[in-house]
Amino acid sequence: MVFNLQGKVALITGGARGLGFQFAKELLKNGVRGITISDCDPVEGSTAAETLNKEFGRGKVIFIKTDVTDKKQFEGLNFPEAFQKTVEVFNNVDILINNAGIMNDAIWEEEIAVNVNGVVHGMLLGFDKYLKNFKSDDEAVILNMSSVGGIKGYGHVPVYVATKFAVTGMVKSWSYPTHYERTKVRVIGLCPGATDTTLQVMEGKYIGPEYEDSIKDIPVEQFVIQPAEFVASEMVKLLMNSKNGTMWVVEGSKPAYEYIIPERETFKNNRL
Ligand SMILES: NC(=O)c1ccc[n+]([C@@H]2O[C@H](COP(=O)([O-])OP(=O)(O)OC[C@H]3O[C@@H](n4cnc5c(N)ncnc54)[C@H](O)[C@@H]3O)[C@@H](O)[C@H]2O)c1
């Protein structure tokens, strides 16, 4: 069954720029009635909301300053406030995109806090509370941003890769049938390849200079940069059509394909 986007309400973390911003735009083009951009950057966040309201009509987009890493803020003021305001303003919340993320192994503890803790926080609030209770229809959907680095190792950014594997694990676990039955919230994962955003600016973001050299081990075709607009148009199709628990790769400006993790039993003859 197709998940109809018309009249739905979405909350996008890290929606001030890059992929998150394009997701907001694409959702509005597809008939979503309200969007909350929740991002830690108040200047870019407000500008993003203003730009979208100019293009799509006043009151369609609100901005709430959110730091997805801060558990105290998360529980007391900040991220819950993003959900609360969404429900206050738009009455519902149907779509959550856990998109906020950084690629910076030089500050790997913060990277883990944003990319892993931030998504866990989003799941606890979105899956168990707000989407479960405030969806406007039979089903809600959460899309978690993993990466091609969430299904394959990359030697130059080992910690970033570890955080994205964690996101893959969250999709695979929160999509268990018993969870779906009790919440009617579908959980899917998106694994983009290299995409044209500020995330790709890597100066000073390695654990050390010797890590950067490891890029040489990766085939160059894997670094063909695609526009964020392309990923956004594929993302919308996934929200509408993909099954609970599925993971999708979008790279090189080609249509999304499903990444399937084989059952480990299929490897049982691969003994030493
Ligand atoms: N660009 C790529 O090549 C690529 C590839 C695969 C996956 N991704 C993933 O896509 C997502 C979006 O990245 P992007 O490429 O658009 O990067 P980006 O840097 O353009 O945007 C990231 C956004 O997240 C926000 N953010 C950062 N820390 C935050 C925090 N603590 N709380 C709230 N907001 C925060 C930033 O302010 C920014 O607006 C990330 O999860 C990233 O890992 C990107």
pLDDT digits (tens, 9 = 90+) for 112-155: 999 999 999 999 999 999 999 999 999 999 999 999 999 999 99
CA distance 163 to 248: 17
Report which ligand 1 atom has the smallest distance to the Cα of 68.
Answer: 32
Is 59 among the domain residues? yes
List the domain range (segments joined by +) for residue 154.
Answer: 9-267
In this structure, what CATH number is given to the domain that contains residue 242? 3.40.50.720
Q: Ligand 1 centroid vs 30 CA: distance in angstroms?
A: 22
Q: Which residue has the tokens 């149907």?
A: 94
DSSP code of 130?
I
Find out whether 95 and 10 touch, Cβ atoms under 8 Å. Answer: yes
Q: Ligand 1 centroid vs 95 CA: distance in angstroms?
A: 18
Which residues form the pocket of ligand 1, taking CB atoms under 6 Å from any ligand atom?
13-14, 16-20, 39-41, 44, 66-69, 99-103, 114, 118, 145, 147, 192, 194-195, 197-200
In total, how many domains does the chain have? Answer: 1
Q: Which residue has the tokens 């197709």?
A: 2
Q: Ligand 1 centroid vs 263 CA: distance in angstroms?
A: 31
Is 272 among the domain residues? no
Is 243 among the domain residues? yes
Find out whether 96 and 23 touch, Cβ atoms under 8 Å. Answer: no
Residue 111: both structure tokens together: 């990277």
pLDDT at residue 73 in the model? 53
Burial label, 19 (beta-carbon count in 10 A; 0-12, 13-18, 19+): buried
Please determine, for residue 77, whether its predicted confidence score (pLDDT) is greater than 50. no
Please report which confidence band the pLDDT of residue 76 belongs to, taking 50, 70 and 90 as the band edges. Answer: very low
Nearest residue (CA) to ligand 1, atom 25: 14
Please report which confidence band the pLDDT of residue 71 belongs to, taking 50, 70 and 90 as the band edges. Answer: low
- 167-203 pLDDT, tens digit each: 999 999 999 999 999 999 999 999 999 999 999 999 9
Is 214 among the domain residues? yes
